[in-house]
């Protein structure tokens, strides 16, 4: 048997362990006082930076992996048609241009006054800072929307589309500023498109366990490496591979299998932001001035541009607040400016501090975003147009008295049975546009919408005719979410739901569901009834003597 060398604990560098310990402690503290843990992670970076610690290669690799997994999972949920919508590309382009001009003008005015660090700032440096501040953070927005279950909502999809276009603008800037043009081999990347059926086949055969998780790691990391080799930013490779797989029924499961890994590695990202900023009173004052002068206008521009593109004021408000921050790409732009001699190194710390403080401001605002809209909605509604963006219009149940949420196999069977019994008073709701189209082709009355999204209920018209709702989702969490939202929004409906396990039944009843259909137990009863109807004549119950079935062994 080969000798096993003992673990050399002295080889472990404390700089590898200390950041994680401090991040956990401050993340826990943030949670206890009602803030997202990411605020604690960010604070941990600044605390460690103040103690003299600097960003380590290991921590940066963790942060880079977190971003790679994040962009891959975003790609899995993205449809290219979302990027082609005017509300996305027009808003992203105009917003970047206007925000850059506003931020540049603010820097120039402060430079003319001779205030602090701005006193020696040139107009070209001011333009670069303005461009760096025009980006919003993809990581922050995704964390906010995921925490609220709004990634599938109209404002979540539009916001993510804007961020992806901003990422593309950043990649173009990096390529131009560095003089790094993608090689001719980059054209071969289009050859990945015909490989989609093969990749999907592998995804289907990977099962549901460790092979699926391993594939979820392999695809984005390989995509990032491939794009890097041909002179294209690595992160775009992970995003592109995610988009390539999007739309398959198994991509949701793949994204969920990577969720914990993504969240864990993004801790390194938040720590690295704090460690990137050198704290000084001058840099902090400059960061606060930029925040006060630029961030409110940046948020207002998002809101105005989205409402001009027919988004409802509520959707535009929630999207704008999710984007009301500065971005990690600002640090990249600033770093390129420093390397190229366009910007003094002290401004990199200012941008890092602006980014961090914008997170501190945006985080509590997003926690109370719905309350803010409830209070100021009567004012904000004046800015919305009469037309509505497709997917953001009011949902009208018409004459429906009964709604089936989740038009899968169970929901479809329930819909058909209830319509046969009561006629055309049944309405189906499903999030999958393809399913909705198929149901409509088959003659069913089905509307598109995500009932697990709170925004869905803000768009639902209350006619008073709907009396009963069936929750027919395949997963327990979706049924629980809709039951909770119905009660929170004050819908007075009788609720019935499917369940798979006894503890799910109990949880649903506690959530206000009156009737729970245990899928497995009731399926057994239905199976027995069907067997009895088909083969009942084979059985003679009179031939069985009393108690003969107790304690007897079957014949060998």
Q: What is the pLDDT of residues 453-498, one digit of tens each?
A: 666 776 677 767 888 999 988 778 788 888 988 888 778 888 999 8
The residues near 181 (Cβ < 8 Å, ≥ 6 apart) are 175, 231
The SS3 of residue 515 is strand
Task: Round to whole Å and give the CA distance between 288 and 83.
Answer: 33
Most confident of 69-83, 129-143, 478-492: 129-143
- CATH architecture of the domain 59-383 equals Up-down Bundle (1.20)
3-state class percentages of the chain: helix first, strand second, coil last, to nearest 5:
70, 5, 25
**What's the pLDDT band for 325 if we cut at 50, 70, 90?**
very high
What is the CB neighbour count within 10 angstroms for residue 110? 20
Radius of gyration of the chain (CA): 28
**What's the pLDDT band for 73 if we cut at 50, 70, 90?**
confident
pLDDT at residue 555, rounded to an integer: 46
pLDDT at residue 391, rounded to an integer: 63
pLDDT at residue 363, rounded to an integer: 86
DSSP H helical segments within 178-229, as ranges?
196-205, 210-229
* pLDDT at residue 385 greater than cutoff 80: yes
The residues near 139 (Cβ < 8 Å, ≥ 6 apart) are 66, 67, 70, 266, 269, 270, 328
Most confident of 232-236, 332-336, 375-379, 432-436: 375-379
Q: State what percent of residues in the chain have pLDDT above 90.
A: 19
> Are the C-beta atoms of residues 74 and 138 closer than 8 Å to each other?
yes
Largest CA distance in the chain: 105
Q: What is the mean pLDDT of residues 144-172?
A: 81
Q: What is the mean pLDDT of residues 509-527?
A: 77
pLDDT at residue 231, rounded to an integer: 76
pLDDT at residue 179, rounded to an integer: 58
As given in the structure block, the two tokens for residue 138 are 């993809």
pLDDT digit string, tens, across residues 160-193:
899 988 877 877 787 676 556 667 777 788 888 8
Choose among 471, 123, 382, 76: nearest CA to 259.
76
Mean pLDDT in the chain?
82
pLDDT digit string, tens, across residues 82-98:
788 889 999 999 999 99
**CA dist list (Å): 379 to 154, 305, 321, 322:** 21, 17, 16, 20
pLDDT at residue 180, rounded to an integer: 60
Q: Does domain 402-528 have CATH number 1.10.1740.10?
A: no
* pLDDT at residue 549 greater than cutoff 60: no
pLDDT at residue 536, rounded to an integer: 64
pLDDT at residue 183, rounded to an integer: 73
Choose among 148, 34, 145: nearest CA to 481.
148
Q: What is the mean pLDDT of residues 65-90?
A: 83
pLDDT at residue 554, rounded to an integer: 42
Every domain of the chain with CATH number 1.20.1530.20 lies at 59-383
**What's the pLDDT band for 553 if we cut at 50, 70, 90?**
very low
Could you tell me which residue, 205 or 275, shows the higher pLDDT?
Answer: 205
* pLDDT at residue 108 greater than cutoff 50: yes
pLDDT at residue 297, rounded to an integer: 96
Supply the pTM of this predicted model.
Answer: 0.70
φ, ψ at 489 (rounded to 5°): -85, 0
Kindly state the DSSP code that residue 265 receives in the 8-state scheme.
Answer: H
């Amino acid at each position: 048997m080969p000798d096993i060398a003992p673990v050399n604990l002295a080889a472990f560098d404390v700089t590898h362990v200390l950041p994680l310990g401090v991040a956990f402690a401050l993340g826990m503290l943030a949670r206890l006082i009602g803030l997202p843990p990411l605020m604690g992670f960010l604070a941990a970076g600044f605390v460690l930076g103040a103690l003299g610690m600097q960003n380590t290669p290991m921590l940066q690799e963790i942060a880079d992996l977190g971003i790679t997994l994040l962009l891959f999972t975003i790609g899995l949920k993205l449809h290219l048609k979302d990027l082609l919508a005017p509300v996305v590309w027009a808003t992203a382009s105009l917003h970047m241009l206007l925000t850059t001009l506003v931020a540049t003008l603010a820097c120039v005015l402060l430079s003319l006054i001779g205030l602090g660090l701005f006193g020696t700032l040139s107009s070209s440096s001011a333009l670069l800072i303005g461009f760096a501040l025009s980006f919003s953070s993809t990581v922050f927005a995704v964390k906010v929307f995921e925490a609220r279950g709004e990634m599938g909502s109209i404002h979540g999809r539009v916001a993510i589309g804007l961020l992806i276009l901003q990422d593309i603008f950043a990649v173009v800037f990096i390529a131009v500023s560095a003089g790094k043009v993608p090689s001719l081999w980059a054209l071969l990347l289009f050859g990945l498109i015909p490989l989609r059926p093969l990749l999907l086949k592998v995804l289907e055969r990977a099962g549901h366990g460790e092979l699926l998780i391993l594939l979820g790691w392999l695809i984005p990391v390989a995509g990032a490496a491939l794009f890097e080799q041909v002179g294209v930013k690595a992160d775009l490779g992970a995003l592109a591979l995610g988009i390539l797989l999007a739309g398959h029924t198994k991509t949701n499961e793949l994204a969920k299998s990577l969720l914990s890994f993504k969240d864990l590695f993004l801790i390194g990202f938040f720590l690295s932001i704090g460690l990137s900023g050198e704290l000084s009173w001058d840099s902090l004052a400059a960061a606060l001035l930029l925040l006060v002068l630029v961030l409110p206008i940046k948020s207002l521009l998002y809101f105005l541009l989205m409402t001009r593109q027919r988004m409802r004021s509520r959707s535009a408000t929630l999207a704008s607040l999710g984007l009301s921050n500065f971005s990690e790409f600002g640090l990249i732009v600033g770093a390129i400016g420093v390397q190229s001699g366009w910007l003094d190194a002290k401004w990199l710390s200012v941008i890092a501090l602006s980014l961090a403080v914008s997170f501190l401001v945006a985080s509590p605002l997003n926690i109370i975003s719905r309350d803010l809209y409830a209070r100021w909605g009567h004012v904000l509604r004046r800015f919305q147009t009469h037309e509505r963006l497709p997917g953001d219009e009011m949902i009208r149940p018409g004459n429906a008295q009964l709604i089936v949420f989740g038009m899968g196999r169970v929901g479809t069977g329930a819909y058909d049975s209830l319509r046969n019994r009561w006629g055309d008073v049944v309405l189906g709701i499903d999030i999958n546009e393809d399913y909705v189209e198929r149901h409509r082709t088959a003659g069913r009355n089905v509307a598109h919408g995500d009932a697990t999204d709170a925004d869905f209920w803000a768009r639902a018209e209350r006619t008073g005719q709907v009396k009963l709702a069936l929750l027919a989702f395949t997963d327990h969490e979706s049924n629980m979410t809709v039951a909770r939202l119905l009660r929170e929004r004050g819908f007075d409906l009788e609720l019935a739901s499917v369940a798979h396990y006894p503890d799910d039944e109990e949880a649903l009843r506690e959530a206000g569901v009156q009737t729970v259909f245990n899928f497995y137990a009731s399926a057994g009863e239905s199976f027995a009834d069907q067997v009895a109807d088909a083969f009942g004549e084979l059985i003679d119950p009179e031939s069985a003597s009393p108690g003969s079935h107790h304690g007897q062994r079957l014949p060998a």
